[in-house]
Amino acid sequence: EYRATVADCYGHTEIMRGTIDGDLMIFESMRETPPTLRMTWNASSPEYITWRNEMTFDGVDWQLIEEYRMVPLS
């Protein structure tokens, strides 16, 4: 299990718990009140890594906030 801290430009901070499962590195917020945030890095493609930011209010239905492909600089 891994730990991460997040601080964004709006003053929001978060402590997250993470795991690695194959090509996926997944972190979820550890707060006791909704919403729960999930950040996923998917390295299954040899050409890029996909990063997803999602949230849920009920722990079941995840809503996509943003998703990016990260490619190496040439």
The proportion of the chain whose per-residue pLDDT surpasses 90, expressed as a percent, equals: 77
Spatial contact of 44 and 34, defined as CB atoms under 8 Å apart? no
Please report the sign of the dihedral spanned by the C-alpha atoms of residue 17, residue 57, residue 44, residue 21: positive
Question: What per-residue confidence (pLDDT) applies to 74?
Answer: 75
pTM of the predicted model, to two decimals? 0.87
Strand runs (DSSP E) across the chain, as ranges?
A: 2-7, 13-21, 24-29, 36-42, 49-56, 63-70
Q: What is the pLDDT of residues 33-52, one digit of tens each?
A: 899 999 999 999 999 999 99
pLDDT > 70 in the chain, percent: 100
For 12-38, how does the pLDDT look when each residue is reduced to its tens digit (9 = 90+)? 888 999 999 999 999 999 988 899 999
Compute the Cα dihedral for 33, 34, 35, 36 and give only its sign: positive
